[in-house]
């Protein structure tokens, strides 16, 4: 039997935590559930991370980094409209193929809001820093155009909300997100 190093086990915890927190949120997820998913004891879990908040922070940072990497890889060597479409297509694939990534994002925003209300700013500071790295990754390929970046990120958040609420792809609410398809339909008639 091959034993995992502490770093490999830590990586397993982050992946498991993303899955558990995506489904249950920060307050609804127990460290026991995370430990069980990884196949370790809770005491061992706390040797890898000092507490639940540290585990959530690691999962949140991974979630943001995953999204940042998707945008960076999709837009590599592209600019403007080409970069925009490549990043949008790549993100659409991620939320279709890895719904936990999307749900973790949504849980992360809720957890930050709750922590901020309680006067705990550590989580918010970490998530905001990661989100700004994400913003910058999108901003540069879009020509550092503030309006383009804002629109791209706003559409992304709308898509996150619609997917999280379970709107099926054929629902009319999606029509406004596909203006070229709508225009094409009008031109054909």
Q: Is there a domain that residue 32 lies in?
A: no
The angle formed by the CA atoms of residues 182, 186 and 189, to the nearest 5 degrees, is: 140
Q: Is the separation of the CB atoms in 110 and 117 below 8 Å? A: no
Q: Is there a domain that residue 19 lies in?
A: no
What are the pLDDT digits (tens) for 90-144? 998 888 888 899 999 999 999 999 999 999 999 999 999 999 999 999 999 999 9
Query: What is the 8-class DSSP label of residue 4?
Result: P
Residue 63, judged by CB atoms within 10 A of its CB (0-12, 13-18, 19+), counts as: buried
Of 24, 4, 180, 167, the closest CA to residue 88 belongs to 180
Determine the straight-line distance between the first and last CA of the chain, rounded to whole angstroms. 66
Q: Is there a domain that residue 40 lies in?
A: no
**Which residues does 108 contact at the CB level (< 8 Å), separation at least 6?**
21, 60, 63, 64, 127
Q: Is there a domain that residue 81 lies in?
A: yes
What are the pLDDT digits (tens) for 12-67? 999 999 999 999 999 999 999 999 999 999 999 999 999 999 999 999 999 999 99
Measured in whole angstroms, the distance separating CA 106 from the mean position of its chain's CA atoms is: 7
Q: Is there a domain that residue 7 lies in?
A: no
Residue-number span of the structural domain to which 98 is assigned:
59-188
Q: Is there a domain that residue 93 lies in?
A: yes
Q: Is there a domain that residue 16 lies in?
A: no
What are the pLDDT digits (tens) for 153-167? 999 999 889 888 988
pLDDT score recorded for residue 3? 73
Number of domains in the chain: 1
pLDDT score recorded for residue 19? 96
Other CB atoms within 10 A of residue 179 CB: 9
């Amino acid at each position: 039997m091959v034993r995992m190093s502490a770093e490999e086990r830590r990586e397993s915890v982050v992946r498991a935590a993303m899955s558990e927190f995506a489904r249950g949120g920060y307050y609804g997820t127990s460290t026991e559930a995370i430990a069980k998913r990884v196949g370790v004891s809770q005491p061992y879990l706390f040797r890898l991370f000092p507490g639940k908040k540290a585990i959530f922070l690691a999962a949140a940072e991974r979630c943001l980094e995953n999204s940042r990497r998707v945008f960076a890889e999709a837009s590599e060597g592209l600019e403007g409209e080409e970069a925009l479409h490549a990043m949008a297509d790549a993100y659409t694939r991620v939320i279709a193929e890895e719904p936990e990534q999307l749900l973790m994002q949504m849980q992360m925003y809720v957890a930050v809001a709750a922590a901020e209300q309680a006067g705990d700013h550590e989580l918010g500071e970490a998530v905001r820093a990661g989100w700004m790295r994400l913003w910058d990754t999108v901003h540069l390929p879009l020509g550092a155009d503030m309006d383009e970046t804002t629109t791209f990120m706003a559409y992304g958040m709308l898509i996150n909300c619609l997917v999280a609420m379970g709107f099926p792809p054929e629902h009319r609410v999606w029509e406004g997100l596909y203006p070229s398809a709508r225009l094409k339909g009008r031109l054909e008639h």
